[in-house]
Amino acid sequence: MDYIDYIDYIDYIYTAFSYALLIPGAIMCLMPVRRHLRVPAKMLCLVLFPSLVLYSLIMPFVEKLIPAITPNTMFLLTIALCFPIYCMVTDLENIKLFYLTLSVMTLLSFGGLAYFMVYAYILNNRIDAPFYDIAMVFQWGTTLFLMCLVFLPFLTKKLAWILEHFHSKSVWNIIWFVPGLITFCNFSMIPEDDKNATIGRIFGLYLLIDFTLLLLFLLFQQMFYLIAKTLIENSEHEKKAQLLKIQACQYQNLLGYMNETSKLRHDFRHTAHTLLSLAQEGDNEKMLQYLMEYNQSLDSFHPHRFCQHIAANAILAYYAGIAKSHDIQTRWKVELPGELPITDVDLCTILGNLLENAIDGSSDATPAQRFINLSVDLTENGELYIVCVNSFDGNAKKSGPTYQSTKKGGNGIGLLSISVTAEKYAGVTRFYHSDREFNSEVMLNLAQAKT
């Protein structure tokens, strides 16, 4: 092998190693979403990583064939081509995966900038280079350091939690701008002329700015995690407070029922005397009328038991009372056991939002057409089906596939809250309407519940 062939061989090795940085990048992209992969992890690894190795071995030849394209441009194009595949093998929203991809690119960009700075320093200070590429070693060292000592032990769990629990689309639509901006800054800091990178204090400023950007990125990730966790905890507390309020209302109703039945039991002696007198007089018509009135008085204080689940029964009774006050006909069939692999808060969030929307919609219909039909059924394989059909005035507002609130000042997050809660239980939701009926369908896979 002559000298020129040796140089070409070394360049090939270095170029292949630079593209092989996609391997730690793929690891960082997959670790936070490993619970949401649509394909088995082992099968994905057996296909993905050999493909990345083969890709790294092929790309040096591609660069020779297309010299006009810079390595950084080729790297970005590769990530852009891989991203749709990433979305297909993961069951999270694309905008969340886009944010995670940009965050990983940000960490990789710190290693890339380290390569150019070390290369410029060696070149301008005329340091005798060993047989290996020191700049490439620094790039891989920086990348592995950030992956093994920063990303995997600290960021992976936080990012996984945020991706699973934080669902504010308005925030996700803009939050990607921060890692995107830091990545752009790192790429912009790559010196066009290596000689200018070490003039005066420029090299020190490069290091200071890059280290500051890294700290800002890590602080931003920590702040995003803490803010998201605080918002979700506050939302959970509000839901629990609402549930306790509903249960307190149901408890007061039960107390009223107990007091009234106690009074009825006390007065039953007088009732028995009255019935005895009517029977002795042979006035069967008055006796029958008296019994009917007495029976109605008993029924009016009888609390309806919809199901065995205490929390669900409380919220169903609460909204049944509201529906009755609005002259809404209710036909509810609820079959739930006393214990379910779903938190009371999540179950009551779904039922409460469904019934609140149904009552609001039915209240806008004409009194004779107001109704709410509700069916709740748990199958033997752990699938919970909730179907709610209610009347409404036919006025439905939609933004794309999403329904918007028609109430004045309404924010329209009820249906979104149902969908978000259903996602926690590997569930699906479907909302649609006809001329005068609104349909809500919810399915939860409680057998795969991740409470």
- Cα–Cα nearest to 358, from 443, 239, 439, 442: 439
Alpha carbon distance 318, 250 (integer Å): 7
**The pLDDT of residue 285:** 72
CATH of domain 308-451: 3.30.565.10
Return residue ranges of the chain for CATH 3.30.565.10: 308-451
Alpha carbon distance 15, 11 (integer Å): 6
C-beta pairs of 61-64 under 8 Å, 24+ apart in sequence: 63/15
What are the tokens at 358? Answer: 């149904």
Secondary structure element (H or E) that encloses residue 390, with its range: strand 383-391
Phi–psi pair at 391, nearest 5 degrees: -80, 155
**407-441, pLDDT tens digit by residue?**
543 445 577 778 878 888 888 899 988 888 999 99
65's CB contacts (< 8 A; 6+ apart) are none
**The pLDDT of residue 409:** 39
Evaluated on CA atoms 38, 41, 46, 51, the torsion sign reads positive
**336-366, pLDDT tens digit by residue?**
998 898 888 788 888 988 998 899 889 988 8
The answer to whether residue 333 scores a pLDDT higher than 60 is yes
**386-412, pLDDT tens digit by residue?**
999 999 987 877 655 567 665 543 445
Report which residue type is found at 250.
Answer: Q
**Cα maximum dimension of the chain:** 129
Q: What is the mean pLDDT of the chain?
A: 82
**The pLDDT of residue 344:** 82
Alpha carbon distance 63, 74 (integer Å): 8
**231-246, pLDDT tens digit by residue?**
888 877 776 676 666 5
Alpha carbon distance 86, 90 (integer Å): 6
Using a cut of 0.95, tell me whether the model's pTM lies above it: no
**183-196, pLDDT tens digit by residue?**
999 988 887 777 77
- Cα–Cα nearest to 249, from 238, 237, 261, 241: 241
